Structure 1
């Protein structure tokens, strides 16, 4: 009897754990309802799962992440912005009922765009920064390429339907990863409520609510037979999106135990949007372990040099390096050190001397630069000796070539002289 009770208690604990944290099984592409999806390590960019990650899709309002990044990097948050006469009448979809001539702070419009997903606020911000939607779109595409988006084209700041306005799950993940490095961006997208006080055109406060239910909702979804809240433990953003053509879209970020994950779900249906996202994030948190491979300034080796004020230069790892490995993956990781050829002084501190490749199951899973831990100068007087010597690596080949050409020229001259002598003897 006691044994049966113990077994029942253990089963209850296991079921509770599964309900809270999700099952820890390998995730398959067919497990995800969305047409396109990706899961990455939010710090390193490692791809942990993907389904059609490079398929060109309509991003809808997830576009506003990029607009928000540009606003934070190029805008003045405390600036008073005046709404133009056209914007309030050019907008479809979600808006905050801006009025022509209305004055708001730049940061109020930014929060309204990222939290309420206000299309009119996005348009006003774009015009304020670039003068026109067309010119702002150029800034968007330049920034997207800089960030690492490789298959995107943006033609407006809010993601309203346009057949030329496209992105991919991979590109949106890279944009979110970049944005989450910005403290101000993180502080905005983690919120699901925001208010704008009365303005010169509005007598009442505007209260806003995000539709990103991962941040707050107690509505239930059925995840593998367990009914759980949509709210996700550790969720810290990022942006929802919806149009008829784009379907339900969601870019999410969550952080637990120092590990941040970013997921993207494009063109999902109904509550599958939240189910897909839970599955992806659970997969990342439950099925992967963080493996520290090396630390910034960790000693690698002393590398011999023959023209410096020291006999060697100390090589160290350029930055912290880690990798996410599946929990059931063998943990035997080897490393291959590659040192550049012809390392010579002078050497600056931080100069790249080579690299380390980390290998698991015969595959390179990560790499990092080896850099100089110190500055190395030339041996005193070596510069003069080097410039005076004809027999350095550069000049020796020129000397050989010149001597060879001179020899050929001399031989030809001698041949011509012999021929002349022979002709003179014949005439005599």
Structure 2
């Protein structure tokens, strides 16, 4: 049977559509078509809804390693910092008290707005509202400090006194909280509600494993943030002159045991910081990163339910080990990239005004590029596939 040119074009278009969907259309005989399985894909875009589901989310490929067995955290996530791909997660978007990991968002917000050098003289008013039982670096009212030393107090000692002083320099406590909230939204971190910029327990203050990973990833892109987050120790001024020059110093040490190896916690090879925390409501929290063989991974662990005070580090260690072994051997379950506009519901018409645009991969609201064949198909089948992609 001879096929008309219009029929041949429709079959060709349907074949391209099916190839994007994972099947290949092969002619069995004249005028009939049957479906054959396509070869396995080397990669697959994530389902945008997976990270919003409860429980563990993982998309293993053949030969991928099993997840660690002893994870007890209420929420955790491991992601590739370079691509933003989330490799696996558990309750990624559950809102939990973040403790001092909230200081990552504080630094992201205030560092770009404040002078990186210079000095500041601390006042009584700036220290007046530091919460009872807070971690402190030891600032004294009336003393002049280098701005860089104040940031070391934030990152190493998790000093709430340093946060209060820097927040005052940034326009005040309430304005800093509002700016932090706006910064979180701009990064696509929608689980975070900021009440106390230092991470001190406050009613309604929450973040999530997903959001903290977003903050950590954005922070590593700022050289000063990355440098402070990776410091293991530093001298801190005990007394200063009017120019902030110290007459004597004392040592401060990073509270992240994976970085320092304190308290019997082994250091992690290639670790590059970021921030840990603890409060009575939050339990132990940690967002951290490590680099190995040219790849940087992020891990967030929130509130382990067993194993004591240092379980947060051991669970992060296990996730990083797994992530380095699993990278390239699992399909991503999501992305840390900010959401983007969903593709148009209208299918491009051949030769029409949008034909040139359809040659490039369309962007989903997760920031991933969907195969153009899924969006440039023919007829009802193509429209159905596009609707399925948009609902996922």
1:306-348: CA deviation from partner (whole Å, max 9, x where unpaired): xxxxxxxxxxxxxxxxx769xxxxxxxxxxxxx9656769xxx
1:383-423: CA deviation from partner (whole Å, max 9, x where unpaired): xxxxxxxxxxxxxxxxxxxxxxxxxxxxxxxxxxxxxxxxx
Task: Choose which of 286, 290, 295 in structure 2 pairs with 1:254.
Answer: 290
On the 8 A contact 2:80/2:86 being kept in 1, the answer is yes
Q: Which has the larger radius of gyration?
A: 1
The yes-or-no answer on 1:83 pairing with 2:85 is no
Q: How far off its partner does 1:32 sit?
A: 1.0
Change (3 A) 1:235 1:352: farther
Task: Choose which of 192, 216, 224 in structure 2 pairs with 1:184.
Answer: 224
Structure-2 residue corresponding to 1:355: 360
On the 8 A contact 2:127/2:164 being kept in 1, the answer is no
Change (3 A) 1:258 1:140: same
SS in 2 for 1:144: helix
The yes-or-no answer on 1:204 pairing with 2:245 is no
Structure-1 residue corresponding to 2:192: 152
Q: Summarize the alignment of residues 361-376 of structure 1 with structure 2, pairs less than 5 Å apart.
A: 366-367=368-369
Q: How far off its partner does 1:163 sit?
A: 1.4
Change (3 A) 1:115 1:354: farther
The yes-or-no answer on 1:46 pairing with 2:85 is yes
1:93-120: CA deviation from partner (whole Å, max 9, x where unpaired): 1112212222112221112101111100
On the 8 A contact 2:156/2:252 being kept in 1, the answer is yes
Task: Choose which of 63, 86, 102 in structure 1 pairs with 2:143.
Answer: 102
SS in 1 for 2:170: helix
The yes-or-no answer on 1:135 pairing with 2:137 is no
Q: How far off its partner does 1:216 sit?
A: 2.5
Normalising by structure 1, what TM-score? 0.61
Q: How far off its partner does 1:289 sit?
A: 2.4
Structure-2 residue corresponding to 1:57: 96
On the 8 A contact 1:290/1:324 being kept in 2, the answer is no
2 CA distance for matches of 1:123 and 1:243? Answer: 18
Q: CA RMSD in A?
A: 3.0
2 CA distance for matches of 1:39 and 1:219? Answer: 25
On the 8 A contact 1:88/1:97 being kept in 2, the answer is no
2 CA distance for matches of 1:365 and 1:182? Answer: 22
Q: How far off its partner does 1:200 sit?
A: 3.5
1 CA distance for matches of 2:371 and 2:113? Answer: 32
Q: Summarize the alignment of residues 107-118 of structure 1 with structure 2, pairs less than 5 Å apart.
A: 107-118=148-159
On the 8 A contact 2:88/2:332 being kept in 1, the answer is no
1 CA distance for matches of 2:367 and 2:147? Answer: 43
The yes-or-no answer on 1:234 pairing with 2:270 is yes
On the 8 A contact 2:78/2:300 being kept in 1, the answer is yes
SS in 1 for 2:102: helix
2 CA distance for matches of 1:81 and 1:217? Answer: 33
How many residues are matched? 285
1:272-314: CA deviation from partner (whole Å, max 9, x where unpaired): 11221111101100122279xxxxxxxxxxxxxxxxxxxxxxx
2 CA distance for matches of 1:60 and 1:274? Answer: 15
Q: Name structure 1 gaps, 5 residues minimum.
A: 1-23, 221-228, 292-322, 326-338, 346-350, 359-363, 371-428
Change (3 A) 1:218 1:156: closer
- Which one scores higher on RCO, CA 8 angstroms, separation ≥ 6? 2
On the 8 A contact 2:101/2:286 being kept in 1, the answer is yes
Q: How far off its partner does 1:366 sit?
A: 4.8
Normalising by structure 2, what TM-score? 0.66
1 CA distance for matches of 2:199 and 2:332? Answer: 33
Q: How far off its partner does 1:353 sit?
A: 5.5
Task: Choose which of 187, 201, 214 in structure 1 pairs with 2:258.
Answer: 214
* Greater Cα shift, 192-201 or 172-181: 192-201
SS in 1 for 2:312: helix
